[in-house]
């Protein structure tokens, strides 16, 4: 099974040359460290940065350079800074080719819940609703089960929704899964050492081989 770094490294293989990519908070931010050197990709941070680089080495951080999750980052030659209005103008006008997000639940129809657990304090949805409504392609990076061992790939989401029928692909510690148009999680690949039985036990939604 993969750890969070392995999940990020696998998702980086889905990024294509020429893409503009938005990285969500959590595991998705790690994808910046694994973009292949032989492709040209521009990373967008919704707090107002185009041209985000990998995380800085320890001791080289600049507190003025942060991503949407308030983590220190680096910039690349040609990077641009701008306000939130410009940033969300890019997002809403579908200039972002790929959005990579974390999630608490994904349904077999591609619905996503990633912003609120009822009864727990949250600061707000942030830009997630705009991103899932506007991105041309959405990949979710998440753990296959929650801390209670319950599946997060479900027939229907139980938590407040962020977006409907928008997720195209999911990468977890167990494998890679496409959300198919008719509904269901199609197994694209299982990670080394993972068995089909493990995936079946951990997936409550419909699996398609």
162: which residues sit within 8 A by CB, 6+ positions away? 112, 113, 114, 115, 125, 128, 129, 132
Name the CA radius of gyration of the chain, rounded: 17
For residue 5, which of 36, 37, 28 has the smallest C-alpha distance? 28
Catalytic residues: 46
For residue 165, which of 150, 151, 149, 183 has the smallest C-alpha distance? 183
For residue 41, which of 8, 19, 24 has the smallest C-alpha distance? 19
Classify 78 in phi/psi space as left (phi over 0), alpha (psi -120 to 50) or beta.
Answer: left
What's the rounded Cα separation, in Å, for the pair 106 and 156? 8
Rounded (10°) CA dihedral 94, 20, 189, 195:
-100
């Amino acid at each position: 099974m993969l750890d969070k770094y392995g999940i990020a490294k696998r998702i980086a293989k889905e990024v294509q040359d020429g893409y503009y990519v938005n990285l969500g908070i959590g595991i998705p931010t790690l994808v910046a460290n694994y973009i292949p050197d032989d492709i040209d990709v521009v990373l967008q941070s919704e707090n107002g940065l185009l041209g985000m680089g990998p995380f800085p080495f320890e001791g080289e951080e600049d507190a003025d350079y942060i991503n949407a999750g308030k983590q220190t980052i680096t910039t690349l030659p040609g990077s641009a800074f701008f306000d939130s209005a410009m940033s969300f103008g890019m997002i809403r006008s579908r200039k972002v080719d790929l959005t990579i997000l974390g999630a608490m639940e994904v349904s077999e129809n591609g619905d996503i819940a990633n912003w609120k657990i009822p009864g727990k304090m949250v600061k707000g949805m942030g830009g997630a609703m705009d991103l899932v409504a506007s991105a041309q392609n959405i990949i979710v990076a998440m753990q296959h089960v929650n801390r209670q061992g319950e599946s997060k790939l479900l027939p229907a989401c139980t938590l407040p929704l962020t977006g409907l029928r928008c997720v195209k692909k999911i990468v977890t510690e167990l494998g890679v899964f496409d959300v198919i148009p008719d509904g269901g999680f199609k197994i694209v690949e299982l990670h080394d050492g993972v068995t089909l039985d493990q995936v079946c036990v951990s997936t409550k939604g419909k699996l398609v081989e």
